[in-house]
Amino acid sequence: MARLRALLTLAVLALVAGGSCAFEFEEATIDSILVGFKNGSLTSTALVRYYLDQITRLNPLLHAVIEVNPDALRQAARADAERSTGHHRAAAGLHGVPLLIKDLIATRDRLNTTAGSLALLGSVVRRDAGVVARLRRAGAVVLGKANLPEWANFRSARSAGGLHGWSARGGQSRDPYVLSANLCGSSTGSSIAAAANMAAVTLRTETMDSILCPASLNSVVGIKPTVGLTSRSGVIPFSSRQDTVGPICRTVADAVHVLDAIVGYDALDAAATKAASKYIPQDGYKQFLKIEGLNGKRIGIPNGFFDFTDGTERQIVYKQHLNTMKQYGATVIENLDIANLSGILNITGSGLLNVLTAEFKFNLNNYLSNLSYSPVHSLAEIIAFNNAHPVEEKLKEYGQQVLLMSENTTGIGTQERTIIRQLEELSENGIVKLMTEHRLDAILTPDSEATPLIAYIGLPGIVVPAGYDEQGVPFSICYSGLKGYEPRLIEMAYAFEQTTKARKPPMFKN
Ligand SMILES: *[C@@H]1O[C@H](CO)[C@@H](O)[C@H](O)[C@H]1NC(C)=O
Ligand SMILES: *[C@@H]1O[C@H](CO)[C@@H](O)[C@H](O)[C@H]1NC(C)=O
Ligand SMILES: *[C@@H]1O[C@H](CO)[C@@H](O)[C@H](O)[C@H]1NC(C)=O
Ligand SMILES: *[C@@H]1O[C@H](CO)[C@@H](O)[C@H](O)[C@H]1NC(C)=O
Ligand SMILES: *[C@@H]1O[C@H](CO)[C@@H](O)[C@H](O)[C@H]1NC(C)=O
Ligand SMILES: *[C@@H]1O[C@H](CO)[C@@H](O)[C@H](O)[C@H]1NC(C)=O
């Protein structure tokens, strides 16, 4: 019997080594991974080893990963054992699939949760973040934490630290397509890791642009869910009005697999997750991966976004894409005006920055006070830590202006509430009114430029790879909509992806 088993094993190994039936690791999708598990060409252990090798090989250049989970291989071995013994857990949606998590999302394991900051190194969380608990129940293997240059971003103006893609702990991130390319506001680890096949799927958070922007610049799919669809408990916060957690993956289908696993009510983020739970379709989101998803959709093109010079790659490709959408049955309505667009885009003039800094202080101090251990207990102590470690925290290069502004605030008072009402009005009179009047299923914009249109009142958006410019820098297209529009946004995004097949693996150009 033992001999027979050994012979069988050899035969299987020979088959696998034979080539045609070997699992294709590069650009693997969740669907192909699950088929591989089933037909015996793949184990979670082999998959985790592949991604760990990719991380070892690429991270010195890309700095996408801040920490690797020392228990990842053990979790993979457990998933393999459960699968081979027919354990019921093996039927869970992401069973054995390796996942990378943004370093802003708490995990109660040997991984640190630090927002890329040295000040939070060694802090201990009480429990997994709500979304991580769900992912563990779905059987995902936690591969590690993704780098987060955003903390630097908080420290200076929106355009400073983040543009450099740097964090004190994780180092300098790079775009795998064009290494010298400008990184956007908060371009970071998760999207780079997804693009460069350093993880099967990744998870990120967005307050304003942190999913949509890096996903679009790294030629991957990012879903920014309606605020409250996914729990923010255990996520290092910025603004509870705007923060949301979503997937960044190589394909729309992969992102939807992850979305299915993370949405839902959480008692530790009760108000928001309860309010949004009505949007969650009973049979999940996978049913909306429809090849004919563009057919019959009404897509609005607002003025002021697609003004690219004639003859440039972007202008030509975007025009082709609009024609493709029409060809596949969408009604494309151009020349639409969003009321007070300049007021919406002006984040200082609208008062947004004042409100965000007030919310940040309050929410961060609350997060810190909920830790079971932390070297720092308040925003004031983080500021003091940075002052005491100016070299490591690159204080001279980036300063900590936003932290100082935030510390200077006194919470959400009358003035802040007035501003929040004005921001809501800007959005209601802007995107909401336009979409309602024209009965639109989505507004289409390039890259992540829709961000201010949808951020203030927690609307959803999906970016999908659309092409590459003359230098090889990726660009993308974004479908955004009203609260709970995920099903139709997924239909359009999936059909667009399947008909255009724009994504190519990264080229690592200089
Ligand atoms: C198993 O499925 C994968 C797709 O996930 C495929 O690449 C491989 O060839 C299949 N192997 C066998 C032995 O059928
Ligand atoms: C977490 O941080 C500590 C330092 O406080 C370090 O020793 C440990 O290796 C880190 N964990 C991982 C998984 O890297
Ligand atoms: C446009 O928005 C700005 C806020 O950025 C606001 O101050 C202004 O009153 C708005 N204008 C109109 C006409 O609504
Ligand atoms: C933004 O609003 C402020 C205050 O209303 C104004 O001073 C500034 O010129 C505006 N910026 C732009 C780019 O319109
Ligand atoms: C901890 O978190 C909960 C939920 O966000 C919050 O209600 C509470 O005020 C926080 N602070 C402490 C000290 O428990
Ligand atoms: C803090 O507030 C005071 C008084 O309102 C102001 O003078 C000072 O410039 C503010 N500092 C920062 C860093 O915003």
The response to whether residue 84 sits with its C-beta less than 6 Å from ligand 5 reads no
Note the pLDDT of residue 168.
Answer: 81
Q: What is the mean pLDDT of residues 280-290?
A: 98
Q: Which atom of ligand 1 is nearest to the CA of 32?
A: 5
Atom 7 of ligand 6, nearest CA residue? 408
Choice between 36 and 183, residue whose per-residue pLDDT is larger: 36
Reported as a single tens digit per residue, the pLDDT across 430-459 is 999 999 999 999 999 999 999 999 999 999
Give the span between the Cα atoms of 443 and 479, in whole angstroms: 6
Q: What is the mean pLDDT of residues 265-271?
A: 98
Residue whose CB lies within 8 A of the most ligand 2 atoms, among 112, 114, 392, for a mutation test: 112
Give the span between the Cα atoms of 12 and 164, in whole angstroms: 48
Give the span between the Cα atoms of 243 and 236, in whole angstroms: 10
- Residue 169 vs residues 118, 123, 197, 429, 507: alpha-carbon distances, Å: 6, 14, 22, 42, 26
Note the pLDDT of residue 154.
Answer: 56
Note the pLDDT of residue 239.
Answer: 93
Give residue 403 CA to ligand 6 midpoint distance, Å. Answer: 12
For residue 405, give the amino acid letter.
M
Is 494 exposed, middle or buried, given 0-12, 13-18 or 19+ CB atoms closer than 10 A? buried
Residue 98's region, left for phi above 0, alpha for psi from -120 to 50, else beta, is: beta
SS3 category, 51: helix
Burial 26-35 (b: 16+ CB within 10 A, else e): eebbbebbbe
The response to whether residue 346 sits with its C-beta less than 6 Å from ligand 4 reads yes
Reported as a single tens digit per residue, the pLDDT across 137-161 is 999 999 999 988 755 555 543 333 3
Give the span between the Cα atoms of 432 and 246, in whole angstroms: 22
Give the span between the Cα atoms of 486 and 5, in whole angstroms: 48
- Residue 430 vs residues 179, 304, 423, 426, 454: alpha-carbon distances, Å: 37, 13, 10, 6, 10
467, pLDDT greater than 90? yes
Q: pLDDT above 90 covers what percent of the chain?
A: 80
Q: What is the mean pLDDT of residues 283-297?
A: 98
350, two tokens: 């609208």
509, two tokens: 């150009």
Note the pLDDT of residue 160.
Answer: 36
Atom 3 of ligand 6, nearest CA residue? 408
Helix (H), strand (E), coil (C) string for 138-193: CCCEEEEEECCCHHHHHHCCCCCHHHHCEECCCEECCCCCECCCCCCCCCCHHHHH
The response to whether residue 31 sits with its C-beta less than 6 Å from ligand 1 reads no
SS3 category, 480: strand
Burial 459-479 (b: 16+ CB within 10 A, else e): bbbbbbbbbbeeebbbbbbbb
Average pLDDT, the chain: 91
Which of 44, 102, 219, 297 is labelled catalytic?
102
Q: Which distant-in-sequence residues (6+ apart) come within 8 Å of 17 by Cβ? A: none
Note the pLDDT of residue 157.
Answer: 39
Residue whose pair of structure tokens reads 């150009």 in the numeric block: 509
Q: Where are the alpha helices (DSSP H) in 263-369?
A: 270-276, 313-327, 341-345, 352-369
Give residue 121 CA to ligand 2 midpoint distance, Å. Answer: 8
Reported as a single tens digit per residue, the pLDDT across 325-366 is 999 999 999 999 999 999 999 988 999 989 999 999 999 999
Reported as a single tens digit per residue, the pLDDT across 163-218 is 456 778 888 888 899 988 766 645 478 899 999 999 999 998 888 888 888 899 89
The response to whether residue 429 sits with its C-beta less than 6 Å from ligand 3 reads no
The response to whether residue 369 sits with its C-beta less than 6 Å from ligand 5 reads yes
Which of 44, 123, 173, 186 is labelled catalytic?
186
The response to whether residue 351 sits with its C-beta less than 6 Å from ligand 3 reads no
Give the span between the Cα atoms of 344 and 51, in whole angstroms: 41
How close are the terminal C-alpha atoms of the chain, in Å?
Answer: 56
Residue whose CB lies within 8 A of the most ligand 5 atoms, among 236, 240, 366, 374, for a mutation test: 366
Give residue 377 CA to ligand 2 midpoint distance, Å. Answer: 20
Atom 9 of ligand 5, nearest CA residue? 366
Q: pLDDT above 70 covers what percent of the chain?
A: 92
Q: Which atom of ligand 4 is nearest to the CA of 346?
A: 1
Annotated catalytic residue 102: yes
Which of 44, 117, 173, 210 is labelled catalytic?
210
Atom 12 of ligand 4, nearest CA residue? 346
Give the span between the Cα atoms of 35 and 98, in whole angstroms: 15
Annotated catalytic residue 210: yes
Q: Where are the alpha helices (DSSP H) in 448-505?
A: 451-455, 486-500
Give residue 357 CA to ligand 6 midpoint distance, Å. Answer: 13
Nearest to 223 by CA among 194, 192, 246: 246
For residue 264, give the amino acid letter.
G
The response to whether residue 353 sits with its C-beta less than 6 Å from ligand 6 reads no
Q: What is the mean pLDDT of residues 99-113?
A: 96
When mean pLDDT is compared across 40-44, 149-153, 250-254, 447-451, the lowest value belongs to: 149-153
Among all ligands shown, which has an atom nearest to the Cα of 120?
2
CB of 409 within 8 A of CB of 357? yes
The response to whether residue 371 sits with its C-beta less than 6 Å from ligand 5 reads no
Atom 1 of ligand 5, nearest CA residue? 370
The response to whether residue 67 sits with its C-beta less than 6 Å from ligand 2 reads yes
Note the pLDDT of residue 465.
Answer: 98
- Residue 367 vs residues 6, 239, 370: alpha-carbon distances, Å: 54, 12, 5
Q: Which helix (H) or strand (E) holds 98?
A: strand 98-102
246, two tokens: 């979503």
C-alpha angle 287/324/187, rounded to 5°? 70
Give the span between the Cα atoms of 507 and 491, in whole angstroms: 29
102, two tokens: 């943004």
Note the pLDDT of residue 143.
Answer: 98
Is 88 exposed, middle or buried, given 0-12, 13-18 or 19+ CB atoms closer than 10 A? exposed
Tell me the pTM: 0.93
85, pLDDT greater than 60? yes
The response to whether residue 343 sits with its C-beta less than 6 Å from ligand 3 reads yes
Is 63 exposed, middle or buried, given 0-12, 13-18 or 19+ CB atoms closer than 10 A? buried
14, pLDDT greater than 50? no
